Amino acid sequence: MVEGPGCTLHGEKIRSRVKKGQRVLQIRGNAVKNHGGGAPGDRFQCFGGCEYTGVQTLGKELFVYFGGRALRLHFGMDGSMRINTAERNDGRGNPPTLIISLTEDTLTFYNTTAEIRLSEDCSEKVRLMASLDVCSPSFSVCGAVEAVCRESGRSVCDVLLDQSVLPGVGNIIKNEALFLTALNPAVKVNRLKPELVRHLVKMTRDFTLLFYQCVKRGSAVCKHCRVYKRSSCGQCSGAVTVCRLGNDNRMTYFCSRCQTEDPTEIDISKLPGLNTLLRWTSQRSVQDVDHVATKEEEEWSCDLCTLINRPIIKFCEACMSPRPLAAVKDPPFFSALIRFPHNTFSKPQQEVKLHRRAAFGNTTLVLSDLGSGPATPPSHTTDHRSGVGLGSDSSTAVIGTQPTRAHIFKRASPGLPSIPSKRRKTGSEPLTGGEVQDKNQPASSSSTTSLPTIPCCTAHHRPSVLRVVTKEGENKGRHFYTCALPRGSQCNFFEWADLHFPSCHHGKRSLMRTVLKLGPNNGRRFYVCPLKQGKQCEFFQWAEKSP
């Protein structure tokens, strides 16, 4: 679902790049939802020759004004928009559902629904509900608290998703805001004290602003999620419960340890405070941040063909040349893929692999521990004997993901030798970010070693992400791996993840599903027949080695 922050950015993009006063040449597409006869394209004839007068957003709604009439646009689950694009389809191959051709610019919308409305009604709705819009600069915490308290008999998970109460809140924001408030999603609003409702509203606003900044800068929102689409809690590492709650049966994620069903147990003083999620907005308002663009938010010029590219694009749209990297002073010991053995060239017990982007490509530093003693941090007096040390500054020691084992050595003293005289180069197999491997640990001693390995994409050499086919067809429900980068920076990597799945009684490859009912098996995955309900066989098997 394109939540409020994404819709707000679409409105800002149109407002900054499309000039007012342009005439409508043509509006075509099949996105219109108004009732009535005739072809869908005929319903847009009333906009012919009209003047484009502006755009407004309210939550997940985008209003494009053309004089006395307006188009109300909704981006649904996976909608997107482009301005003056030369490509007809979007990044996933979907054709446009609405094309607005003006005298100078062309707006192309994908997977978007449209409604024809009166401009006066749309502007009045925005004026009345702007104080409740979690994405609006005029958002009022007091007004939002009153609106939530009026829904006393409903569950908090339903109230947060109600666009008439808090426009712009989507499923991701709902789950994370409830986690930050330590509330179980099924709790009724009438059981909450006004102070707790106020904190819930503030956390909803906080995570919305965090969501907005991530989408604007092209970074992944999932890095900040504690429970949404996670198998373990980001705070206590406990199991995350996945179920369908509320009147709309929306997917809900919560931690039974960190989120309580009894609001009286919550101590607000121990919960995150206002703007704790947004360190960059702790001293200044969001409006000030919007006026100061970072280097990543600026348009960039290709060194090869001089084309001006959008900030989110990592490769030139004309010649596919990579975006020039900012000058970064690299430490001298990250110059090549080199092993630094501590004592001898025997098989190391542990390795710390660090992946770093250098000026002339990607390099990897492999630190190996060849000592026979226990894996304990060395003392300060023996740093020069145990080998190379790493400091605690993750910005200089780790690029990508941090090490998964707590075996980080102290930085060696500058006056002591930290690199042995002998060194050897190894093969340049692609490696991901900080990774610690225990070479002496048997494969059967860890449950994770039996799981299928996650492949890396061919272009970026990063771990891919697991997704599910949602389009109707014979492959619906199948799992596959694709590039984990945001849309616009993704490569064409694709690999099926279900090739090892068992076959059902029909001889077809089974589908993997997740138990959503509350109980001891919640979250467990299992294999079932891929056919539709009514034609399925009785095949069932627990997925012990799921991807």
For residue 76, how many other CB atoms are within 10 A of its CB?
15
Neighbours of 11 (CB within 10 A): 21
DSSP H helical ranges for 231-319? 286-291
Question: Whole-angstrom Cα distance, residue 430 to residue 458?
Answer: 9
Q: 72 near 117, Cβ under 8 Å?
A: yes
200 three-class SS = helix
**Dihedral angle of Cα 187, 193, 195, 197, to the nearest 10 degrees:** 30
Provide the annotated active-site residues.
2
What's the rounded Cα separation, in Å, for the pair 24 and 113? 19
The residues near 525 (Cβ < 8 Å, ≥ 6 apart) are 512, 513, 514, 515, 542, 543, 546
Tokens of 66: 């053309």
Q: Which helix (H) or strand (E) holds 212?
A: helix 194-217
Annotate 120-160 with DSSP letters as a single string: HHHHHHHHHHGGG-TTSTT--HHHHHHHHHT-TTSBHHHHH
Do the Cβ atoms of 506 and 537 come closer than 8 Å?
yes
Contact call for residues 515 and 241 (beta carbons, < 8 A):
no
Distance (Å) of CA 377 to CA 208, 346, 389, 390, 440: 41, 21, 10, 11, 18
Q: Are 161 and 169 in contact (CB under 8 A)?
A: yes
Structure tokens at 261: 């069903």
Cβ–Cβ contacts within 10 Å for residue 441, how many? Answer: 12
Q: Measure the CA–CA gap between 99 and 155, rounded to whole angstroms.
A: 40
